[in-house]
Amino acid sequence: MTEITNFRGEAQAQTQVAGEAERLTDDLIARVGERVRRARDRKGIPRRVLSEKSGVSPRYLAQLEAGEGNISIALLQKVAHALDHKIEWLVGEDDPWTSDALRIADLYRTANADVQAAVRATLSPEPVTEKRAHRVCLIGLRGAGKSTLGRRAGQALGIPFVELNREIEEQAGMPVDEVMAFYGQEGYRRLEAQALSRVIATHDTMILAVAGGIVAEPETYNRLLTHFHTIWVKATPAEHMARVREQGDERPMAGNPEAMEQLKSILTSREALYEKAEENLDTSGKTEDESLAELTALVRARGLV
């Protein structure tokens, strides 16, 4: 009789544990769904648009927001990325919309460059000039001339030139296109952040060229702004497109009659981010030698290296 009683007790305990686990799972799914819906509403993004940006079907998103979708971590990461949120904001127990940290982050993100600089100076006692050392980073859309000018400027100034995508390829052991295909956008961004940290730890004096989309990753871009003197290398949309094609890459235009409008849209959406750079260099209508002369003169005049 005692053994039967013990068995029943163990069975009841296991049932209670299973029931509690199921309740916690249901609570998590409901919490994630509600936060995805709130994040989408706050940004004014229709579900259809979120579906296009994340690659998750509208039907799946509807189930998720209703607390009925048992979404995988991989798909949830895509949704979080499309909403410009950290995945932990969607799954954590603390409500991110009542969190002081999130409110402060939102205020910082929408503040002008002067306010952001003051906040960074207050939170970081080490002088920014010391953190930046003699590192120069060229940012901007593909086709602006970052890699070509950076390489030639490094030779002219006698300092190392590094292209961040080459660092990523070395780390991953494969070309960037394969990195994107194998790891996805999230994996590429993770490798990009790691590569940037290695470059900072390795070089106090250098010229770095980065991919145009790095500015859309807040943490990585803020780290870049903190540790580098940044120069926005820019050109007209038509010149951006023409230079990419001159490099032998027909993908921007192939089978895509809206490519130019998309390029203009990307440039417009990132303009405020690129403007956070300390300096800018407009290469529109200039020869490579003219742009190089302006870049090296700017670097020397500002004492950046």
Q: Which residue has the tokens 């039907």?
A: 59
144 and 282, same domain (yes or no): yes
182 and 272, same domain (yes or no): yes
Domain assignment present for residue 248? The answer is yes
What residues are paired with 205 via a beta bridge? 134
Residue-wise pLDDT for 261-275, tens only, equals 888 888 888 888 999
User: Residue 228: which domain range?
Assistant: 126-302
The fraction of the chain above a pLDDT of 90, given in percent, is: 34
Reply yes or no on whether the pLDDT at 125 is more than 70. Answer: no
When pLDDT is averaged across residues 40-56 and rounded to a whole number, the result is: 81
Tell me the C-alpha to C-alpha distance, in Å, between residue 210 and each of 22, 84, 97, 259.
46, 20, 33, 22
Q: What is residue 223's predicted lDDT score, i.e. its pLDDT?
A: 93
47 and 98, same domain (yes or no): yes
Q: What is the dihedral of CA 220, 223, 225, 231, to 10 degrees?
A: -50
Q: How confident is the model at residue 97 (pLDDT cuts 50, 70, 90)?
A: low
When pLDDT is averaged across residues 144-158 and rounded to a whole number, the result is: 94
Please say which residue of 106, 134, 161 terminates a domain. 106
Under a CB-based contact definition with an 8 Å cutoff, are residues 292 and 152 in contact?
yes
150 and 249, same domain (yes or no): yes
Domain assignment present for residue 118? The answer is no
**Burial group, residue 304, by CB count within 10 angstroms (0-12, 13-18, 19+):** buried
**For position 59, which CATH number holds?**
1.10.260.40
When pLDDT is averaged across residues 180-207 and rounded to a whole number, the result is: 91
Q: What is the dihedral of CA 177, 182, 184, 189, to 10 degrees?
A: -70
Residue 256: Cβ within 10 Å count: 11
Highest mean pLDDT among 54-68, 75-89, 126-140, 208-222: 208-222
Which amino acid is present at 221? Y
Q: What is residue 264's predicted lDDT score, i.e. its pLDDT?
A: 84
Q: Give the HSE-up count for residue 3: Cα atoms under 13 Å, Cβ half-sphere.
A: 0
E strand intervals along the chain: 134-139, 161-163, 205-209, 229-234, 279-282
40 and 131, same domain (yes or no): no
Domain assignment present for residue 195? The answer is yes
Q: How confident is the model at residue 20 (pLDDT cuts 50, 70, 90)?
A: low
Q: What is residue 158's predicted lDDT score, i.e. its pLDDT?
A: 95
Q: What is residue 69's predicted lDDT score, i.e. its pLDDT?
A: 66
- The two three-digit tokens of residue 160, written as one number: 């190392």
Q: What is residue 254's predicted lDDT score, i.e. its pLDDT?
A: 47
74 and 159, same domain (yes or no): no
Q: What is residue 299's predicted lDDT score, i.e. its pLDDT?
A: 95
Q: How confident is the model at residue 127 (pLDDT cuts 50, 70, 90)?
A: low
Q: In the chain, what is the greatest distance between 2 CA atoms, to the nearest angstrom?
A: 95
Q: What is the 3-state secondary structure (H, E, C) of 173-201?
A: CCCHHHHHHHHHHHHHHHHHHHHHHHHHH
When pLDDT is averaged across residues 35-55 and rounded to a whole number, the result is: 82
Domain assignment present for residue 174? The answer is yes
Pairing mode of beta strands 134-139, 279-282: unpaired
Reply yes or no on whether the pLDDT at 252 is more than 50. Answer: no
**For position 196, which CATH number holds?**
3.40.50.300
Highest mean pLDDT among 19-23, 53-57, 99-103: 53-57
- The two three-digit tokens of residue 248, written as one number: 């032998």
Q: How confident is the model at residue 253 (pLDDT cuts 50, 70, 90)?
A: very low
Instruction: Provide the domain count of the chain.
Output: 2
